[in-house]
């Protein structure tokens, strides 16, 4: 077994492993996401009139789309694909209508998942000189 893998396993089996890990990755949920009132008004209007394309276009402007669907990212990147794929749009919007407006708002304003926050945390922890040394460049 790789030496570093072995050391990692030994460290993980210590009693305080999670306490140490939390110092590096303090995963505390963020607050709710704020949703622009004007944008949400457009969502409500399209929802009530059941204008599928309009509803989808407005929801794609938000930071968080309210449902998990593999095709949403493509629709977000290529806005013209909304017009070219009416069955996909109708399928996604059917799920959105089932949720109702209150649930849509709740899902669009959920806090960022903790696993999406940890990217820069290790570098930030190192910069704080937590190991008792100052990081140096490769040069």
The 10s digit of each residue's pLDDT in 75-98 is 999 999 999 999 999 999 999 999
What are the percentages of helix, strand and coil residues in the chain, rounded to 5? 60, 0, 40
DSSP 8-state symbol, 117: T
Kindly state the tokens that stand for 60: 């794609």
Using DSSP, state whether 26 is helix, strand or coil.
Answer: coil
Contacts of 28 (CB under 8 A, 6+ apart): 114
Classify residue 23 by burial, with Cβ atoms within 10 Å: 0-12, 13-18, 19+: exposed
Query: What's the pLDDT at 121?
Result: 72
pLDDT band per the 50, 70, 90 thresholds, residue 33 = confident
Give the predicted TM-score (pTM) of the model.
0.68
Could you tell me what percent of the chain has a pLDDT over 90? 56
Any idea what DSSP says for residue 100? -
**Tokens, residue 59:** 């929801």
Percent of the chain with pLDDT over 70: 89
Q: For residues 71-108, b (16+ Cβ closer than 10 Å) or e, as one string?
A: ebeebbeeeeebeebeebbeebbeebeeeeeeebeebb
Task: Output Rg (C-alpha) for the chain, integer angstroms.
Answer: 22
């Amino acid at each position: 077994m790789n030496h570093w893998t072995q050391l990692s396993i030994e460290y993980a089996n210590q009693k305080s492993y999670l306490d140490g890990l939390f110092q590096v990755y303090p995963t505390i949920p963020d607050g709710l996401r704020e949703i622009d009132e004007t944008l949400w008004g457009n969502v409500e209007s399209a929802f009530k009139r059941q204008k599928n394309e309009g509803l989808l276009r407005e929801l794609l402007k938000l930071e968080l789309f309210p449902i998990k669907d593999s095709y949403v990212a493509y629709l977000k990147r290529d806005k013209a694909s909304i017009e070219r794929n009416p069955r996909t749009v109708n399928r996604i919007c059917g799920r959105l209508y089932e949720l109702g407006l209150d649930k849509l708002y709740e899902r669009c304003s959920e806090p960022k998942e903790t696993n999406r926050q940890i990217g820069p945390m290790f570098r930030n922890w190192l910069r704080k000189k937590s190991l008792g040394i100052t990081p140096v460049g490769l040069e």
